[in-house]
Structure formats: C-alpha cells, structure tokens
A and B are shown apart, each in its own frame.
Chain A
Amino acid sequence: MAERMGFFTDTSICIGCKACEVACKEWNQLPDDGFVFEATSYDNTGALGASTWRHVAFIEQQPVWTADGTTGDGDGDGGEKPFQIGPDGRWLMSSDVCKHCTNAGCLDVCPTGALFRTEFGTVVVQSDICNGCGYCVPACPFGVIARREDDGRAWKCTMCYDRLRGGLEPACAKACPTDSIQFGPLDELRERAAARVAELHALGRTEARLYGESPDDGVGGMGAFFLLLDEPEVYGLPPDPVVPTRNLPAMWRWAGAAALTMAGAVALSFLGSSDRLLGRGGPR
C-alpha cells in the first residue's frame, strides 16, 4: 500500500473563488445540480451531494453594535467568543469535501463491497458494483455521500483516484489559487497544519483550530481535515462526529436479546395455559 494521502484545507486563506468546485465538476464530469439561488450568501451550491464533491461554504458574520459602542459577534450573544469581529464584519469561507474517514461509516455499512479502501487510504465507490441500496447515505456522519436519483447509484468524492494513480494531485487542489486546499501524505499535512495553527495563534488569531486531524476522534481521524476559524457547526460540520458502527456490537446484543425474548413470548403463548384462558378450543 502506498502512503496514506489526504487533504488539508486551510480555510483561513480560502478566498471563496469556487475554482475547486469547478475543477472537480470538470475533471470528474459531474452533472449539474440545477441553477439554484439560495438567497443566503454567495453559496448557491448549498451542500455536498451526489454531483457536488467540493462545496464552498460562505458565512458572513456581521458585528452587532452594543450600547457601550463595542461590537459583539453576529450571533448576538455578546463578546464571549475568543475573537472580535471588526466593524466591517468578517467572512468565513471553507471548501468542504468528503473526509475519507479512517473509520468510514459509508464503507462499513455498504453491503455489496462497492465502497472500498484504496491503496492511498481513501474511500471510493465502484460504480459498476453499487446497486443503489442507499444505506451509505444516512450512515455518513457528515452528510457527504448521496444517491443520484436518475442514475440510481451512490456517488461521492474519490480524491481523484484516477489522477492519484497517474501520479497527479486531485483536481481541486491543483486548481486552488491560494493553496487553501493542500494535498499530500497525511502525516506531512498534519505537521504542516500544526505549524500553521501555531503561526496563527502567534499572530493573535486564537480562534484558529484544527478539525478532523486527530486519530482519536469518533471517526479515527479524517483523511481530509480542516483549519477552521469558528466552531465546526457554523460551517455545517458536525462538532463531534462518531462513526455509527462504533456501537454495532452493542446493537447486535440488544437485537439478540429481543430475538430471544420474541421466541420466549411465542413459547409462552403456546405452552402456557393460553388455550384455557384465551380460547375455547384447546389442543386435540
């Protein structure tokens, strides 16, 4: 197996150009998602989906002027946050993508083996095997994978598996003009990310934090992780994702107990005095 490859998306230098979205669509020949005007921000893509494998989120946080002339953040809950929004507000932009989890919910629950782990440590759907059962869709704690309804199969980011095999970097990382999307060996990216956070903290940007870099999180670490400037949920990311299969042994134990209880209830109904109590017939 080759080295585990990944993405480090440094949102502090994302300029929201959406070149990653376009490059992904073009290289992977993804169908359009219709022309939608969300009317919330410059984001008219909305969310990751079967035909959207990179999604740039735009969060516009406006200052709230308070009585004493200071500003709070756009949430109106006072200056409790460890950062100040300037008088002009601030924009957060972040290019979201499949996390290629170490413990991937989609991969765990796929019944056909269509989803598999590649030699690069990424998670990919084999479209010639997927039968569109749809189980991977609610199993993803990030809402990444989806079924293309006209096609019937599940689709998601492959981290450009074809380009990787050809020794190229993924299309989104190649197109990113600010290197907000960095591609490389995961270990190397983690070191680079830690250095970047330290640098930002030294500059007083103490709100900078990494998301998904730790192998100790609920999905065993993400193959695509992020540097964020606010809580993950502000970007539409789950704050503490856990792979659903982590509790699977316990689930089977409870189901086993229920199955045994069921058998016991039926046995009781037949072998107890049910006929005398409940019917007039009785066994012959």
Chain B
Amino acid sequence: MTSSTREREPRLDDAEFRSYYGRPVIKRPIWHVPHMPAYLYLGGLSGASSLMAVLARATGRPRLARTTRIAAAAGAAGGTVLLIAELGRPTRFLNMLRMFKPSSPMSVGSWILAAQGGLSAAAAASAVTGILPAAGDAAALATAVTGPLTATYTAVLVADTAVPAWHAGYRELPFLFAGSALASAGAVAMLTTPRADAGPARAVAALGAAAETAAATMLERRLGLVGEPYREGRAGRLLSAARALSAGGGLLALLAGRSRAATVASGLALTAGALCTRFGILEAGRASAADPKYTVVPQRERLDASAVR
C-alpha cells in the first residue's frame, strides 16, 4: 500500500478498532417508543409531585396539595399501564411481583412503583372525595419515601446494562432524572394550580430545570468517546432541544408568577424539555449499542492499560 494524499486526513476522534464486519457486539435495548421514555417521564412526574404534595400539605397550601396528589396518582397509574403494554407478555405482568430481587433494578423498581401507585392513588382519592382524610394524609406522607425512589430508580435501571453510554453515565443519570422529574412536576403543578398558590411549584420547576440542564451537560462532556451518542445524531438533537427547552422554561418559571401567559409558556416548555430528555436518553442507548466502537474501544484500552502495568 502506498501512501496517498487523497487518503482521508485522520481525525482526532477516529478510534482504531477491529470488529466482526462492523456488527454490534451487544444487543440494542428493545424497549419501545413511546412506552419506555413516556414511562420515565410519568414516573418522574409522579415521584416529584408526591414530594410536593407532602410539603404543600405541611405548609398549608391545600389547592397545591390537591393538584400535586392528583398528578402523582395519574403519573404512577399512566406509567404502570405503559410498562404493562411494553411487556412481551402483558398478561404475565404480575410475575413482576413474583419475587423481590435486589440484584435486579427492575424487580426493586416494580415494588417501588407498586407502593407508589397504591399510596398515591389513596392520597389522591382521599383529597378528591374528602373521605378518610387522615388515611389520605398518611398515604401521602409515605409517598415522601416512595416518590423520590420512583423518580430515580429508573436511572439505575438503564445504567445497569451493558449499553456503554448508559452504564458509564451511572453517576450523572440519577441527577438528570431527578432534575427532569422536578421540572416535570413543577410544570404540571404550575399549569394546574392557581397562580397565587403555585409559588413553590415555580421554584421546584426552576430548580429542576437547572439540575436537569447541569446534569445533561455533565453527561455529554464527562464520558469522552462513550458519551458521543449523547452529542450526535438523533439523540444529540433531542438532548440539545431538551436543554434549550428546559433552560428557557426554567428561566420563564422565575417570571411566571406575574402572568398567565408566562406560566403556560414555561409549563409547556418544561414538559416538552423533560420529554425530549427521556426520549433522547433512549435514543442515545440505542445508538451506543448499535456501534461496536463504543463497546470495543474502551474495553481494548482497559486491557492494554492493564497489560502495560
């Protein structure tokens, strides 16, 4: 082979690696769109709404307490329906509660979601009907534990896979999901609660959007080659849209106390941003699994480094 000036200039990000006809080494996640990312969104919405409901009740904001309890119940119920529809054998969904298995984030998550779904439904039912208020309060209080777990276990769920972009992001993903959940719940509460009662919801939305934006930036920057799917292609476009929408919606939330229009714009932008985040994460996982480079190069580097040692 002679060297030719027509050869492509080597790029810095060109990773030298060998593969079997460019085929992926691992299987890509088979979870469907929109089920899986929509569940991630609804689970986050439910979990963060629960936390807000508890504090709204404790600080004497009945209207906010009521809307957030309903959002928490609706999110958990809708998410559960999506999860069941996602199964290859939906009629066997109860097998999820056949055992409690700490090594499986999906088993742990099924129990968390079952608790969150039941408790948030009880809390919402009590708030809407006015029946058994003490039991409703107790159920709501318990969701202060199950809520944050519902919103964050899903990060462990995706990270505990062989998908390089997900596995390597196990530090950032929980914070991304937590921020996204806060922004989602703050947005829905802003949209459904009278402005005068929605001050804390606006604060939750703004803090959530800030956390979501910061964690997404970390995820894109810290992982090097493995983080490439977060920056490129369809996932990259979804995540940049998410960042713009979340940041914009978060800033608007700071002003949303003054106008109905700003409230609506902020709430919709944050909701769209949170959804883009969730869809972008699934897309990044698919892209990460599809290209053998992301599996082979880091493993080869690890082997070569240990051989030198």
Contacts A233-B25, A278-B199, A282-B199 given; does A239 touch B88 at CB 8 Å: no
Q: Is the CB of B99 within 8 A of A142?
A: no
Contacts of A245 in B (CB 8 A): 103, 160
Contacts of A244 in B (CB 8 A): 159-162, 167
Q: Is the CB of A130 within 8 A of B96?
A: no
Q: Is the CB of B60 within 8 A of A110?
A: no
> Is A139 engaged at the interface, CB distance under 8 Å to the other chain?
yes
Bound-state CA distance A250–B285 (Å) is 20
Contacts of B149 in A (CB 8 A): 259
Q: How far is the CB of A251 from chain B (nearest CB, A)?
A: 5
- Range class of the A interface residue count: 35 or more
Q: How far is the CB of A150 from chain B (nearest CB, A)?
A: 10
A-B Cβ contacts below 8 A, count:
284
Q: Is the CB of A248 within 8 A of B161?
A: no
Q: Is the CB of B17 within 8 A of A129?
A: no
> Is A265 engaged at the interface, CB distance under 8 Å to the other chain?
yes
Q: How far is the CB of B284 from chain A (nearest CB, A)?
A: 13
Q: How far is the CB of B58 from chain A (nearest CB, A)?
A: 8
Contact with A along B139-158 (1 / 0, CB 8 A): 00000100011011101110
Contacts A111-B107, A112-B99, A270-B55 given; does A280 touch B299 at CB 8 Å: no
Bound-state CA distance A64–B55 (Å) is 71
Q: How far is the CB of B33 from chain A (nearest CB, A)?
A: 13
Contacts A146-B27, A255-B153, A269-B207 given; does A113 touch B101 at CB 8 Å: yes
Which of B107, B160, B170 is packed against the most chain A CB atoms within 10 Å?
A: B160
Contact with B along A175-208 (1 / 0, CB 8 A): 0000000000000000000000000000000000
Could you write out 24 A-B pairs with CB less than 8 Å apart?
A57-B20, A109-B160, A111-B104, A112-B92, A129-B95, A132-B92, A138-B28, A141-B26, A143-B25, A151-B88, A153-B88, A233-B296, A239-B296, A239-B303, A240-B303, A244-B167, A247-B170, A259-B149, A262-B47, A269-B207, A270-B58, A277-B199, A281-B195, A284-B60
- Known pairs A138-B26, A261-B178, A279-B257 / 15 extra A-B pairs, C-beta < 8 Å: A47-B23, A113-B99, A130-B88, A130-B89, A131-B89, A134-B30, A134-B31, A240-B299, A252-B156, A255-B152, A260-B148, A262-B151, A262-B152, A263-B148, A278-B253
